[in-house]
Amino acid sequence: MNRMRRMILPLALMLNACVPVTPSDTASRGVIVDSTFPPMKTFGAPRPSRPVKSNNDLALDFIELSFRLESGRDLPVFTRFEQPITVRVTGAPPSSLGSDLTKLLHRMRTEANIKISQTSANATANVTIQAVSRAEIRRALPHAACFVVPNISSIDEYRSARRTAKTNWANLKKREQLAIFLPNDASPQEVRDCLHEELAQAIGPLNDLYRLPDSVFNDDNVHTVLTGFDMMMLKAYYSPELRSGMTRGQVSQALPHILNRINPAGNGRAAKFATRTPKAWAQAVQTALGPGSKTSQRITAANQALKIANAMGWNDHRLAFAHYASGRIMLASDPKAAFQHFVSADRYYAATPGADLHRAYVATQLAAHAVTQGDGVRALALIGPHIDRAARSENAVLLSTLLLLRAEALDLTGRSAEARTVRLDSLGWARYGFGPDWAVRAKLREISSLSPLKKGRL
């Protein structure tokens, strides 16, 4: 099975139905370098939060992540690298990739205790990260933004070996050589997001679970960099008690001791035993937010996701996500109904531990609604609690969107000088999140158009 980064919840954070016309659909590095905006901002030291979860629940998460593929197929044995891992970069990498890779490898060494380093020895590297164009990735694997495959070292090699036993994850007994294919003509954040998700799956768990609110191992794509939960899973993955070839039962037997050692805070917590996510719900969400569906099909699918969530008795982030999806789809056709879905999503996310970042996404929609109503005070109250959360999560797309909304809200309250400062601050983050100048300008126009003060001036 090929691991691909899902695109069912795009991070463009579209706040209305208008999509500005842009000069190109490719974010070229040349345009970024020649930017007329302030310098691109990048994040400093990571600030991940440790998972607040029982070790019993963490053990169940580990097993389901490690012994099943996204397709639902069970894996016969546990696999990982059994030697120090070396990583090389080939192709035409964007300038931002080097520093983001260095930071990620440092996190894996210090937070997960994994022996992993970058190398220039091309012939012996365990993991090859090849940076190619998005078009080349799509030619190799349609609909993928990026992906990872075993026993391959280049995208040309993958084309000839695709759908053969060589690239089948289920055939692995241990991991020795893998390749990750990243886009070199996407925004810096999209490249970094792909790097985090694909490298984590190259060396660790291969599955994604919608029931995990605080993980990149979740197809909702809310988290874009590895979380404290993810690093704990990777730390357990490379514990000395485990080795390639172990069965599900053998790993299950070893996990209590491993988790007691690396997460003593989880010993006394009561298990919650979150229910599994039915395949029908996942399919409904993918139809609702994925590519290729008509609006009527999206609405029907979103309603189906809500029905399944209610039938399952969920009151967690999955029910909230179904409401969020419904709101996104109905923004253009029924803004009032969309707003009520966003209110419901926020209520359920607020009741779910680990879903703070999800609430930040919903806050962009609720704040946008307040701005359109001319209620700057309300918009500021909605945005305020989530600025630091977006920064802690290293999500420049979300952070710049929140800041741009804040600037509009400040204008509405007569604080124009402060609004100009906040808007200027947002641009450096927008360059990392959205990429080229035209994409940043498009986001500026989109959010500016929400304000009643700007009507007829764009």
Q: Is the pLDDT of residue 15 over 60?
A: no
Q: Is the pLDDT of residue 35 over 90?
A: no
- Res 122: pLDDT: 74
Mean pLDDT of the chain: 90
Residue whose pair of structure tokens reads 């008509």 in the numeric block: 294
Identify any residues that bridge with 433 across adjacent strands, giving them in sequence order: none
Cα–Cα dist 77/405, whole Å: 49
Burial of 357 from C-beta contacts in 10 A (0-12 / 13-18 / 19+): buried
Could you tell me the pLDDT band of residue 1, with boundaries at 50, 70 and 90? Answer: very low
Judge contact between 407 and 422, C-beta under 8 A.
yes
Mean pLDDT computed over 173-186:
96
Mean pLDDT computed over 82-90:
97
* Beta strand segments in 46-150, E: 85-91, 116-118, 127-132, 147-150
Residue-wise pLDDT for 54-75, tens only, equals: 999 999 999 999 999 988 889 9
Cα–Cα dist 55/252, whole Å: 12
Q: Is the pLDDT of residue 5 over 60?
A: no
Q: What percent of the chain has pLDDT over 90?
A: 80
Residue-wise pLDDT for 283-310, tens only, equals: 999 999 988 889 999 999 999 999 999 9
Phi/psi of residue 179, each to 5°? Answer: -130, 140
- Res 7: pLDDT: 43
Mean pLDDT computed over 114-138:
93
Mean pLDDT computed over 330-342:
95
- Res 226: pLDDT: 97
Judge contact between 269 and 306, C-beta under 8 A.
no
Backbone conformation region of residue 394, classed left if phi is above 0, alpha if psi is from -120 to 50, else beta: left
- Res 190: pLDDT: 97
Judge contact between 425 and 403, C-beta under 8 A.
yes
- Res 339: pLDDT: 97
- Res 26: pLDDT: 30
Cα–Cα dist 227/207, whole Å: 16
Tell me which DSSP letter residue 132 carries: E
- Res 23: pLDDT: 33
- Res 420: pLDDT: 96
Burial of 123 from C-beta contacts in 10 A (0-12 / 13-18 / 19+): exposed
CA 25 distance to own-chain centroid = 21
Higher pLDDT, 123 or 261: 261
CA 374 distance to own-chain centroid = 32
Q: Is the pLDDT of residue 148 over 70?
A: yes
- Res 456: pLDDT: 54
Residue-wise pLDDT for 207-221, tens only, equals: 999 999 999 999 888
Which letter, b or e, does each residue of 131-146 get, where b requires 16 or more Cβ atoms within 10 Å of its Cβ?
A: bbebebbeebbeebbb
**Tokens coding 135:** 């078009």
Mean pLDDT computed over 184-199:
97
Mean pLDDT computed over 321-348:
95
Mean pLDDT computed over 441-447:
95
Question: How many helices, marked H, and strands, marked E, lie in the chain?
Answer: 18, 6
Within 13 Å and on the Cβ side, how many CA atoms surround 263? 30
Cα–Cα dist 26/194, whole Å: 17
Rounded to two decimals, what is the model's pTM? 0.90
Higher pLDDT, 165 or 456: 165
- For residue 283, which of 273, 263, 297, 271 has the smallest C-alpha distance? 297
Mean pLDDT computed over 246-250:
97
Residue-wise pLDDT for 251-260, tens only, equals: 999 999 999 9
Q: Is the pLDDT of residue 24 over 50?
A: no
Residue whose pair of structure tokens reads 């730390």 in the numeric block: 235
Neighbour tally for 236: CB within 10 Å: 26
Domains and CATH numbers, the chain: 53-266 (3.40.390.10), 279-454 (1.25.40.10)
Least confident among 33-42, 122-131, 301-310, 354-363: 33-42
- Res 123: pLDDT: 73
Neighbour tally for 34: CB within 10 Å: 10
Residue whose pair of structure tokens reads 């945005």 in the numeric block: 383
Spatial strand order of the sheet with 85-91 comes to 3-4, 147-150, 178-183, 127-132, 85-91, 116-118
Higher pLDDT, 324 or 18: 324
- Res 458: pLDDT: 46
